[in-house]
Amino acid sequence: MKISQFNESEFQQSIALRKYVFRSPYTKAKAADYQFLLQIADSIGAFDDQGRLLGQVLNLPIFYNFYGQKVPAVGVNHVGVFPETRGQGVAGKLMKASLQQAYQQGQVLSILQPFSVAFYRKYGFDLFATRIHYQISKELFPQYTHENVYRIERWVRSEMSPSLMKVLCEVYEQFAQKRNGTQIRDTNWWRRMDLQFPELNYAVIYQADVCVGYLSYRIVDTNLEIIDFIYENSQAAKELWNFASAHQSNVFQICGTTTNAESINYSFADPRIDQRLWYNTMIRIVDLPQFLKLWFAQFPAVKSFTFSVIDSVAPWNSGCYQISGDTVSKSVTEKLDSDLVDIRELAAIFLGPLTKGQLKEHLDDENRPYLEPLLISAENKLPAHFLGEF
């Protein structure tokens, strides 16, 4: 078996795997998006001696808002193995190759949506953003007092000018920069959105002729499905909710996805809407030294401390780390047998959804007192508003 990056001559094999392994229908829109994805992703395949594709992983370069800094990351997607080759370690080898490539590309974090949480935990990933799927029934549609300084224009994507789309991209960028853990989009991401939703609707809101947000959505049967809910201030958000609620004659439910980083329903007249928590994203630290430098530059350690890491999947992370204020030093020794912290635990501590108190329960800190400085260093972390789809 050979693990290598595949090129355009092997794209048809990837398409065949996509059709067979993944459950979502391979519609015309899905086909256009997938073929574009193959062009922009770093595609890694496992091939047999005859050059037949056994499995694959697509590394999509993305950017992540890390407390106001634009950090390169990788969105791992379309990890798939044909059933006749499962159980032979193909997926594991692909994940190691994915991390190796991400490290070589300078990507600090790896993010994915798992088919199996247990499988990816073995490779250093842990739970990440807490997503919330909400459904608002017609009798609970929010209604707010309208302020005349705001107005909304409604568009279909195919009718929007490039200049208007540029404005919306800039508004999204401003929104993303204010929220930790939000994906910062590039032109490839917007192109994929157009391919996936060619007739997406947009409600663009203006305050005194300045764009201050937008709502992108589609209406499926009697449901209004929100894709993007972007706003610069709370009143703009209320006006966008008014717009969505104005569909009550032909829409019986408004639905969408958010995270626990924001509360969409707190100011509703009746906030008792249906909400479902969903841990469907996982994250891994690809480059631990660089990540720690980013973290402690933002949150300097109050007291100096040390800990050790053995990362068998990404061995470049293994070593003894000394933290002093905003300075991170790493040394490599032959034997690391004390004060050991698993790379997955570091993802949970610094990037996961659990609080310090919850982490203390899960990580058995009573028998591992050296974890306490790490937990203290992460106690001011913010939840990630990550809604990126790959």
Mean pLDDT on 347-352: 98
Q: What's the longest Cα–Cα distance across the chain?
A: 70
The verdict on 366 and 270 lying in the same domain is no
pLDDT at 336 over 90: no
The verdict on 168 and 273 lying in the same domain is yes
The verdict on 101 and 160 lying in the same domain is no
The verdict on 244 and 302 lying in the same domain is no
Q: CA 376, 283, 289: angle at the middle one, nearest 5?
A: 60
Distance, in Å, from the CA atom of 371 to the CA atom of 350, rounded to the nearest integer, reads 12
pLDDT at 174 over 70: yes
The verdict on 137 and 262 lying in the same domain is yes
Mean pLDDT on 219-238: 97
Contact 58, 77 (CB under 8 A): yes
Distance, in Å, from the CA atom of 266 to the CA atom of 85, rounded to the nearest integer, reads 49
Distance, in Å, from the CA atom of 335 to the CA atom of 51, rounded to the nearest integer, reads 41
**What sign has the CA pseudo-torsion 15, 111, 173, 240?**
positive
pLDDT at 66 over 80: yes
Mean pLDDT on 369-384: 95
Distance, in Å, from the CA atom of 102 to the CA atom of 107, rounded to the nearest integer, reads 5
Q: Across-strand partners of 378?
A: none
Burial 16-28 (b: 16+ CB within 10 A, else e): ebbeebeeeeeee
Q: Is residue 383 part of a domain?
A: no
pLDDT at 170 over 70: yes
Sheet holding 210-220: strands in order across? 150-156, 201-207, 210-220, 223-231, 253-259, 131-137, 274-278
Q: Give the pLDDT score at 24.
A: 84
| Percentage of the chain modeled with pLDDT above 70 | 99
Q: How many CB atoms lie within 10 A of CB 7?
A: 10
Q: Is residue 120 part of a domain?
A: no
Q: Among candidates 92, 128, 93, 122, which has minimal Cα distance to 110? A: 128
The verdict on 18 and 67 lying in the same domain is yes
The verdict on 152 and 98 lying in the same domain is no
pLDDT at 233 over 90: yes
Collapsing DSSP to helix, strand or coil, 101 comes out as: helix
- Reported confidence tier of residue 334, pLDDT bands at 50, 70, 90: low
Main-chain dihedrals φ then ψ at residue 191, nearest 5 degrees? -65, -40
The verdict on 289 and 268 lying in the same domain is no
Which pLDDT tens digit goes with each residue over 85-109? 888 999 999 999 999 999 999 999 9
Q: Give the pLDDT score at 367.
A: 83
Q: What is the tally of structural domains in the chain?
A: 3
Which pLDDT tens digit goes with each residue over 289-325? 999 999 999 999 999 999 999 999 999 999 999 999 9
pLDDT at 365 over 80: no
The domain in which residue 312 lies consists of: 284-377
Burial 133-166 (b: 16+ CB within 10 A, else e): ebebeeebbbebeeeeebebeebeeeebeeebee
Mean pLDDT on 15-43: 94
**Which domain-ending residue is among 240, 259, 278?**
278
The verdict on 240 and 296 lying in the same domain is no
Which pLDDT tens digit goes with each residue over 69-84? 999 999 999 999 999 9
Q: Give the pLDDT score at 48.
A: 95
CATH number for the domain including 261?
Answer: 3.40.630.30
Q: How many CB atoms lie within 10 A of CB 75?
A: 23
Would the pTM count as exceeding 0.85?
yes
**Which domain-ending residue is among 107, 124, 152?**
107
CATH number for the domain including 330?
Answer: 3.30.1050.10
pLDDT at 328 over 90: yes
Q: Give the pLDDT score at 335.
A: 66
Q: Give the pLDDT score at 390.
A: 79
pLDDT at 198 over 90: no
pLDDT at 287 over 80: yes
The verdict on 271 and 351 lying in the same domain is no
**Which domain-ending residue is among 72, 92, 107?**
107
The verdict on 352 and 373 lying in the same domain is yes
**Can you tell me which residue has the tokens 């032909």?**
250
For residue 194, give every residue at least 6 positions away whose Cβ sits within 8 Å of its Cβ, in sequence order, or none.
Answer: 157, 200
Q: Give the pLDDT score at 339.
A: 87
End-to-end alpha carbon distance in the chain: 27
Q: Give the pLDDT score at 215.
A: 98
pLDDT at 133 over 90: yes
The verdict on 236 and 373 lying in the same domain is no
Compute the mean pLDDT over every residue in the chain, rounded to the nearest whole number.
95
